[in-house]
Structure 1
Amino acid sequence: MKNQQRKSRTELRRIQLDGLKETVKRVYENVPFYKNCFDRLGITPEDISSLEDLEKLPFTTKEDLRDNYPFGLLAVPMKDIVRLHASSGTTGKATVVAYTKKDIGTWAGLMERVLRYCGVTESDIIQNAYGYGLFTGGLGFHYGAEKLGATVVPISGGNTKRQINLMQDLGSTVLTCTPSYALHLAEVAGEMKVDLKKLPLKVGIFGAEPWSEKMREEIEEKLSIKAFDIYGLSEVMGPGVACECSAQEGLHIFEDHFIPEIIDPKTGKTLPPGSEGELVLTTITKEGLPLIRYRTRDITSLIEEECSCGAVHVRMKKIMGRSDDMLIIRGVNVFPSQIESVLMTIDELNPHYLLVINKKGTLDELEVWVETAHKSGDLSARISREIYAVLGINVKINLVPPKTLKRSEGKAVRVLNKNEAAL
């Protein structure tokens, strides 16, 4: 197997180099933004002769997509674009992403691969509760499921009671949605006196927001399913950049379509194998909107050792947070997922929380608002001690009754400024 693995990696690197050369040539000839960037650095497509030359190329950021809104980064004429998606634009102007007919086919193939990696077959009934529309999640899973030959229930997000009724009536075996919405489904099912453990549901594929191993355990216990993690982002493709396999030893990045790097988010320097840093992705098969060294802002590390499933693609660890969403509390770097991992170990708490930043004098202080299932003893002090043991900072704990914090049908909101926080 190891000899086959080495051979496969060699072939994969050849595919990557061919794709990289072709992509660099395409953007240099067809995208003025990239030509200007390359010219400023004194780089031409002929300078890229190995995968190591990738480091010579400039980064692309979300700001670059916004600055070239809406179609400035297209590498094909508009007549060749068959689909447009866009980000939510919650932190600024929306970013528009474009797909050719070939891109849609590539994406569907990647999503079919995701489903197969998670053990889904053409015999399954997939309840797709990701949002349809400009958000890439819903249609990404939909096309992949149809390519696989599975039955799709395109219910989208929301209508939670109807979701549960359809699970019962249609016999859904696979659930796709955000992890926070999966827990909300379980909560509402409890209110409806529906025992999800008695339904045919067996697999859940969750993404679009970071989630901890403790949340995985909670989802698997409450829904009686195997919960898989998926990774993607609209700018690069949508869902389908990486996913877990049956071994669940990290998420395989599909390197025949995306070249991953890990960089220091502060210096931009490429880090050695195994280092934790910011994930950077270069697309090598996209036609409409190819991206060179796109800075995802997601913090992770790569696992280069062979996976027990035998797949050749490198793996990434679960996203621990984002470099631009990182909180700095009294000089300490804090990611919401770190707080979540502590909260999920405490039985008296519900899996719904909000991190509230409150300025006290010149310093930021962190409040953790969390729902209690039931109180026992001095719960606030215990939570505070547990968080201090992990992060080394003191936080204020605000225990609130069940169903106090606002639920989300899409990506969960985990961090708010106290002046804007509204329960």
Structure 2
Amino acid sequence: MSEYFDELEIRKPEARASAIARALPEQILRAQGLAGYGETLSEIEAGSITSVEALAQLPVLRKSHLTQAQAAVRPFGGLTAQAPSDFAHIFQSPGPIYEPGGTGHDWWRMGRFLHACGIGRGDIVQNCFGYHLTPAGMIFENGGRAVGAAVLPAGTGQTELQAQAAHDVGVTAYAGTPDYLKVILDKADELNLTLQITKAAVGGGALFPSLRQDYADRGIACLQCYATADLGNIAYESTAQEGLIVDEGVIVEIVTPGTGDPVVPGEVGEVVVTTLNPDYPLIRFATGDLSAVMEGESPCGRTNLRIKGWMGRADQTTKIKGMFVRPEQVAALVSRHDAIARARVIASREGEADVMTVKIEADGASPENFADAVVDTLKLKGRIEIVARGSLPNDGKVIEDLRSYD
């Protein structure tokens, strides 16, 4: 079994940049021809968007836009490059939001992750992701086909039957949420069944170090990926276990929450993804998740960008004094004044009243300098504290709620 899924994983940065320069204009041109994008991309010269940096000129596509578009044009909101009946599957996620699915070779790009887990021909994968309406089960099944493994479509629940099946058919690999594998293993122990699982590909939840170690103690190598129903695989772990390596079929940006503005490398921000899938060209799709770029390349030899994995949610909209304060309002406050490097809104309580404190990174300034801007952009009066540049936490938060709701 080759160490790498394909040569794309170990390309030199210049070769990857050159490929992006060819693929991006074509993908944007496809999107411009779709009714679901309306006027949002009409003024863009597709041929001028040839790099990740140039993508920042384009608007961010949010999940709320998908909901609105799908309400107008069923089922995919006019955002797919082919008719709904031409897809192999149509899925429904909470919202509801509908997603297309294909059965072509590695359509969801999950094969790359399974290969990194060491899964391939000769393996039988017990796929414990759901097959009912939502796409996770088919995403991993498609990946199993891409690497030549057999798949036991187990789905969720019925743990005793799952343990029995794993024993009877000689399952060697698990795919599912991080914690459910332990449930199966414990049930197998209870039933005195010997299992042959040595590999695990997990997603859809947090893989805690203690749980990974528990699997390692059982002789199971467990790696995790970051994927969504809309985009498929975005990034994945290799055996190096140093961050998540961005998949070759997507472009990832980290932006200030509530905006489309890229953050400084290493700073926590919202994950925005452009997929190069020609069937479903999502351009600068905001996932709502927080992460950060990691410096350098993975020790495993894969050369693409790495991110730190899931670090929370970017949607920090908070109601203060009966009014919603949104991340984009905080971003507007920062952009209004050149003197402001960063800002953070903190909601707290004093007695039975809400208090809004706005912490502003600015050198040698007075709180009074920003009082009008705070009211104009946040629509509320609040305390203003000037803090030193670089002193606000690098956690992606621009709104922090300290109130207790117990």
Q: Could you say whether these structures have the same fold, taking a TM-score greater than 0.5 normalized by the shorter chain as the test?
A: yes
Length, aligned pairs only: 321
CA distance, structure 2, for counterparts of residue 169 and residue 321 of structure 1: 40
Select 1:211's aligned residue among 191, 207, 213. Answer: 207
Report the Cα offset of residue 176 of structure 1. Answer: 0.7
Q: Do the aligned partners of residues 43 and 122 (structure 1) sit closer, same or farther apart at CA in structure 2, a change above 3 Å counting? A: same
Matches within 5 A, 1:14-413: 14-28=18-32, 30-39=33-42, 42-69=43-70, 70-78=75-83, 81-89=86-94, 93-99=95-101, 104-107=104-107, 110-190=109-189, 192-194=190-192, 198-221=194-217, 223-236=218-231, 238=232, 240-255=233-248, 257-284=249-276, 286-324=277-315
User: Contact between 2:250 and 2:273, CA under 8 Å: does it hold in 1?
Assistant: yes
Per-residue deviation at 1:88? 2.9
Structure 1 contact 210–320 (Cα < 8 Å) conserved: no
Tell me how far apart the structure 2 counterparts of residues 6 and 168 of structure 1 sit (CA, whole Å): 37
Matched-pair contact (CA < 8 Å) for 1:118–1:228: yes
User: Could you say if the C-alpha distance between residues 246 and 211 of structure 1 is closer, same or farther in structure 2, counting changes exceeding 3 Å?
Assistant: closer
Whether contact under 8 Å (2:188, 2:195) holds in the other structure is no
Q: Deviations over 1:70-96 (max 9, x none)?
A: 22233424166323443431xxx3111
Confirm or deny: 8 A CA contact 1:241 1:254 kept in the other structure. Answer: yes
Distance 1:323 1:293 in 2: 15
> What is the alpha-carbon distance in structure 1 between the residues aligned to residue 353 and residue 177 of structure 2?
36
Partners of 1:306 and 1:155 in 2: CA distance: 36
Paired with 1:174 and 1:127, the residues of 2 have a C-alpha distance of 6
Letter of the structure 2 residue corresponding to residue 251 of structure 1: L
Please say if residues 84 and 134 of structure 1, whose CA atoms lie closer than 8 Å, have aligned partners that are also in contact: no
| Structure with greater proportional helix content | 1
**Segments of 4+ in structure 1 off by > 6 A?**
4-7, 325-328, 393-396
Shift of 1:249: 1.1
Structure 1 residues 319 and 31: CA distance shift in structure 2, 3 A: same
CA contact (8 A) 2:254 2:293 kept: yes
CA separation of 1:32 and 1:206: change in aligned 2, threshold 3 A: same
SS at match of 1:52: helix
Q: CA RMSD in A?
A: 3.2
Native 8 Å contact 2:59 2:260 kept in 1: no
Identity, % of aligned positions: 29
| Structure 1 position 6, deviation (Å) | 9.5
> In structure 1, what residue type is equivalent to 2:227?
G
Counterpart-to-counterpart distance in 1, 2:237 and 2:288: 20
**For 1:281 and 1:225, how far apart are their aligned partners in 2?**
31
d(CA) in 2 for partners of 1:225, 1:288: 36
Name the structure 1 match of 2:338. none
Q: Where does structure 2 lack aligned partners over 5 or more consecutive residues?
A: 1-7, 320-350, 355-400
Distance 2:197 2:230 in 1: 31
**Is the contact between residue 97 and residue 289 of structure 1 (CA under 8 Å) also seen in structure 2?**
no
Over 3 Å counting, the alpha-carbon distance change for 1:226 and 1:158 in structure 2 is same
The verdict on how the C-alpha distance between 1:5 and 1:122 changes in structure 2, with shifts beyond 3 A counting, is closer
Alpha carbons of 1:67 and 1:193: their partners in 2 closer, same or farther (altered >3 Å)? same
In 2, are the aligned partners of 1:27 and 1:35 still within 8 Å (CA)?
A: no
Structure 1 residues 320 and 214, CA gap change in structure 2 (3 angstroms) = farther
SS in 2 for 1:21: helix
Q: In structure 1, give the amino acid aligned to 2:300.
A: C
Deviation at 1:214, TM superposition (A): 3.3
1:362–1:84: structure 2 CA closer, same or farther, 3 Å change rule? farther
Secondary structure at the aligned position of 1:280 is classed as strand
| Paired residue type of 1:31 | L
Deviations along 1:303-342, whole A, 9 cap, x unmatched? 24121111122222121222237999xxxxxxxxxxxxxx
Q: Which has the larger radius of gyration?
A: 2
Q: CA deviation at 1:242?
A: 1.8
In 2: Cα distance, 1:320 partner to 1:115 partner: 23
Deviations 1:164-198 (A, max 9, x none): 111222221101111132233344445x2547xx5
CA gap of 1:173–1:327, structure 2 versus 1, over 3 A, is farther
Structure 1 residues 9 and 47 mapped into 2: Cα distance closer, same or farther (>3 Å)? closer
